[in-house]
């Protein structure tokens, strides 16, 4: 790695540790929630011969959220296919609150999926719908069903049909290869959209979910690119001398906040994407980096070491006023707003190492969520219920996740390689 790359990586002092080879993992629930709602997702009739187990995908989605505790299939003494077949008293005896049942049939070149959601306590049907899917669309249909069930019960929009992006590296030294991947929110259906023999960093989704901004070293110095996911078409947005890092989209999709060192130390700038005009936001002798927009687009979070160690600050884009938000511990970095703007998620270094934490903005109370000591790069689901991050587990680099209240955690499958910097997409429909 040349001197510029080394200097750039050292300047971004909030990057924690590099990670090792990732295994081909399945979704693994590492900690369940003691407040999860019991639910039964009955295997769909005529679904045994399908290439995808729809009921299993729905069950995994709901369990991963931390809101639900699906009943094990071995405990199901009957398998209804519709609300007419449900014996509510029998399911109440199993302490089941809700039940999902359905049937799959072939229709032309695809499938017809009928599902229903039942309230066991109230002995009534809450939801019923028919979904069609092509041969390659069964997982998408299952995630859609998960979204509908989740919203019907919780009144929170489901985020299971969203996607994630992340970066992998594999190989050693000059033979290292880097890749940018996009996958379903459960880590499946991973697709490589960019590969390079130079580092790729900091992917960020556009608000419409059609594009990614990221940093690439392919020209021997860091530059920010914007790439259309479907077509692969891309443009170079910035290539200033020094650092070009940490791009993040404004909520309206018209601007990018970023960290640049073109005028000296790394500072926060905002670029108008249409005109390419650059506005400097911070002006400090310390390192300012890792910007993040507030949900309404009127302020920016950023990480700065101006107090002697990395802490989170907020800049009001109208008044220009800046305030320090974090005071717990001597390391707080890479903050992201909750979608409702009432809290931030960040990396906090405490007694157990680097962990994902949540801080309430009104009270200032900070609570650690993850149980790993090597967390980095948190990214929040668009409905605010889950956070994914990069971590290490058992000698392998993995994608970790935790519910927003910290009561449930999980690991996601990822493409082979050293996995880092996940980014959760916005809602896609």
Could you report the per-residue pLDDT of 93-111, keeping only the tens digit for each? 999 999 999 999 988 889 9
User: Do 35-154 and 3-28+163-424 fall under one CATH topology?
Assistant: no
Task: Kindly tell me if the per-residue pLDDT of 3 is higher than 60.
Answer: no
pTM of structure: 0.91
What mean pLDDT is predicted for residues 244-255? 97
Burial (Cβ within 10 Å: 0-12, 13-18, ≥19) of residue 21: middle
Task: Output the pLDDT for position 47.
Answer: 60
What mean pLDDT is predicted for residues 352-367? 96
What mean pLDDT is predicted for residues 110-136? 95
Task: Output the pLDDT for position 20.
Answer: 28
- Which residues pair with residue 225 across a beta bridge? 214, 236
Are 205 and 421 a contacting pair, CB within 8 Å? Answer: no
- Sequence spans of domains, the chain: 3-28+163-424, 35-154
Task: Output the pLDDT for position 51.
Answer: 87
Task: Output the pLDDT for position 371.
Answer: 87
- Greater model confidence, 3 or 367: 367
What mean pLDDT is predicted for residues 133-148? 95
What is the rounded CA–CA span in Å between residue 330 and residue 214? Answer: 29
Task: Output the pLDDT for position 46.
Answer: 83
What is the rounded CA–CA span in Å between residue 88 and residue 160? Answer: 28
Please, which pLDDT band fits residue 16 given cuts at 50, 70 and 90? very low
Task: Kindly tell me if the per-residue pLDDT of 73 is higher than 80.
Answer: yes
What mean pLDDT is predicted for residues 392-411? 86
What mean pLDDT is predicted for residues 108-118? 94
Q: Are strands 311-316 and 177-184 parallel, antiparallel or unpaired?
A: unpaired
Task: Kindly tell me if the per-residue pLDDT of 24 is higher than 90.
Answer: no
* pLDDT tens digits along 178-190: 999 999 999 999 9
Task: Output the pLDDT for position 310.
Answer: 97
* pLDDT tens digits along 142-173: 999 999 999 999 999 999 999 999 999 988 88
Backbone torsions φ then ψ of 113, nearest 5 degrees: -115, 120
Handedness of CA 338, 341, 342, 348 (dihedral sign): positive
Task: Output the pLDDT for position 429.
Answer: 80
Could you tell me the two tokens for 240? 């200033």
Task: Kindly tell me if the per-residue pLDDT of 22 is higher than 90.
Answer: no
Task: Kindly tell me if the per-residue pLDDT of 251 is higher than 50.
Answer: yes
What is the rounded CA–CA span in Å between residue 370 and residue 71? Answer: 25
Please, which pLDDT band fits residue 395 given cuts at 50, 70 and 90? low
What mean pLDDT is predicted for residues 396-412? 89
State the average pLDDT for the chain. 91
Task: Output the pLDDT for position 409.
Answer: 92
CATH number of the domain at 3-28+163-424, out of 2.120.10.30, 2.120.10.90, 3.40.50.720, 3.30.300.90? Answer: 2.120.10.30
What mean pLDDT is predicted for residues 269-287? 96
The distance of Cα 87 from the centroid of its chain, to the nearest Å, equals: 39
What mean pLDDT is predicted for residues 394-400? 77
The count of other CB atoms within 10 Å of the CB of residue 343 is 22
What mean pLDDT is predicted for residues 6-11? 44
Task: Output the pLDDT for position 174.
Answer: 83
- Greater model confidence, 393 or 134: 134
Q: Are strands 234-238 and 223-228 parallel, antiparallel or unpaired?
A: antiparallel
Task: Kindly tell me if the per-residue pLDDT of 215 is higher than 80.
Answer: yes
232: left (phi over 0), alpha (psi -120 to 50) or beta: left
Task: Output the pLDDT for position 381.
Answer: 98
Task: Output the pLDDT for position 10.
Answer: 45
Homologous superfamily (CATH) for 35-154:
TolB, N-terminal domain (3.40.50.10070)
Please, which pLDDT band fits residue 397 given cuts at 50, 70 and 90? confident
């Amino acid at each position: 790695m040349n001197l510029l790359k080394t200097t750039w990586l050292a300047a971004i002092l909030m990057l924690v540790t590099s990670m090792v080879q990732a295994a081909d993992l399945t979704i693994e629930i590492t900690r369940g929630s003691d407040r999860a709602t019991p639910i039964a997702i009955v295997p769909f009739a005529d679904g045994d011969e399908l290439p995808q187990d729809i009921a299993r995908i729905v069950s995994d989605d709901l369990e991963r959220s931390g809101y639900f505790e699906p009943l094990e299939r071995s405990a199901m003494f009957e398998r209804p296919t519709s609300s007419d077949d449900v014996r509510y008293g029998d399911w109440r005896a199993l302490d089941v609150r809700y039940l999902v049942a359905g049937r799959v049939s072939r229709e032309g070149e695809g499938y017809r999926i009928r599902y229903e959601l039942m309230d066991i306590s109230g002995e009534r049907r809450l939801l019923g719908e028919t979904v069609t899917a092509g041969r390659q669309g069964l997982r998408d249909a299952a995630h859609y069903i998960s979204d509908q069930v989740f919203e019907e019960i919780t009144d929170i929009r489901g985020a299971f049909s969203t996607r994630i992006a992340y970066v992998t590296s594999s190989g050693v030294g000059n033979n290292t290869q880097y890749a940018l991947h996009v996958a379903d929110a459960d880590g499946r259906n991973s697709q490589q959209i960019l590969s390079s023999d130079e580092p790729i960093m900091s992917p960020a989704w556009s608000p419409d979910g059609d594009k990614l901004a990221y940093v690439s070293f392919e020209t021997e110095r860091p530059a920010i690119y914007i790439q259309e996911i479907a077509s692969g078409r891309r443009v170079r947005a910035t290539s200033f001398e020094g650092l070009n890092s940490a791009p993040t989209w404004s909520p309206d999709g018209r601007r990018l906040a970023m960290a640049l060192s073109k005028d000296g130390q790394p500072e926060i700038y905002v670029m108008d994407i249409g005109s390419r005009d650059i506005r400097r936001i911070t002006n400090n002798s310390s390192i300012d980096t890792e910007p993040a927009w507030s949900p309404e687009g009127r302020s920016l979070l950023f990480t700065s070491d101006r107090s002697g160690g990395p802490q989170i600050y907020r800049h009001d884009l109208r008044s220009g006023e800046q305030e320090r938000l974090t005071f717990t511990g001597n390391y707080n970095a890479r903050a992201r707003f909750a979608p409702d703007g009432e809290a931030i998620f960040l990396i906090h270094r405490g007694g157990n190492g680097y962990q994902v934490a949540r801080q309430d903005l009104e009270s200032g109370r900070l609570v650690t969520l993850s149980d790993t000591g090597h967390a980095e790069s948190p990214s929040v689901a668009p409905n605010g219920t889950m956070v994914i991050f990069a971590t290490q587990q058992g000698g392998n680099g993995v994608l970790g996740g935790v519910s927003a209240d910290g009561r449930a955690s999980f690991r996601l499958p990822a493409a082979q390689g050293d996995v880092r910097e996940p980014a959760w997409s916005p809602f896609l429909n």
